[in-house]
Amino acid sequence: MKIVHTIAELRAHLAAFQRPVFVPTMGNLHDGHLALVRQAKPLGDVLVVSIFVNRLQFLPHEDFDTYPRTLEADCQALQAVGCDVVFAPSERELYPEPQVFKVTPPAGLADILEGHFRPGFFTGVCTVVMKLFACVQPRVALFGQKDYQQLMVLRHMVQQFALPIDVIGAPTLRGADGLALSSRNNYLNPAERQEAVHLSQTLTAMAQALRGGATDIVAIEQQAMAALTARGWQPDYMTVRRRADLQWPAAAELATPATLVVLGAAKLGTTRLIDNLEV
């Protein structure tokens, strides 16, 4: 496995390959990331994983400075699952000057849900992913479905810019108790880790209600918010949306719940967790 830190070195190495496959990450890798890498491996002739903590997608009060940087351990884990190239640029390498050109996704998709509670988040995500795409020039890119809205935004970006990249969403990997794997799970203390499973359990209850024919979306959402709040969570949203565009479904669409997704974001202690479940 080759570890490169500059764009020039990356491009020189990849020049010999025809079908790079790419998994972008911010490091601090867990089994969910490694499952993405395993899924990506047979899809191209060289597998590239980037490790870069992207300042542009963090709000001023968020955890950019304290986000875990574990490059040595990440590289060992990646080598064990067959990664070919780790691209780990410094901030100065990827942003040698202020990044004033940015990719701004449409408000109707990017300013709802996560974008409402984290203004500018998806502009930061799209900008860094576009730049990483320019560096790696992949033919295939994999992203986890745990970040459901992010996956949708990036698919639309690739389509709008006619990028020759197949974007693949990989299923969310969960712990034995159902908690979605996330780097931010490391922030949870033991008691919080036990409690954290209630986010996925609440989403499961919402999905079951919809499958059972429930049609009062407002009541479903309010009950879910109240259930988490009663357990000491601070929920931002627990919501029912269309898979196609993440808008609220019309009444007629509730007859086909398989077209829907339930999504949630809530803070447990100081840690904000997100999850989703397709109905």
| Catalytic residue list | 33
Residue type, 81: V
* Phi and psi based region of residue 31 (left: phi greater than 0; alpha: psi -120 to 50; beta: remaining): alpha
Alpha-helix runs per DSSP H in the chain: 7-14, 31-40, 71-80, 91-94, 107-110, 114-117, 121-136, 148-160, 190-195, 197-211, 217-230
Helix (H/G/I), strand (E/B), else coil: 45: coil
Angle at 134 between CA 131 and CA 136, to 5 degrees: 110
∠8-10-14 over CA atoms, to 5°?
Answer: 120
Residue 6: DSSP 8-state: S
Length reported for the chain: 279
* Residues forming a β-bridge with 242: 260
Distance CA 90, CA 276 (A): 32
Q: What is the torsion angle, in degrees rounded to the nearest 10, for the CA atoms of residue 33, residue 35, residue 36 and residue 40?
A: 140
Tell me the C-alpha distance between 211 and 75, whole Å: 42
The answer to whether residues 148 and 112 touch, using CB atoms and an 8 Å cutoff, is: no
Q: Which two tokens stand for residue 117?
A: 């509670």
Handedness of CA 174, 58, 240, 156 (dihedral sign): negative
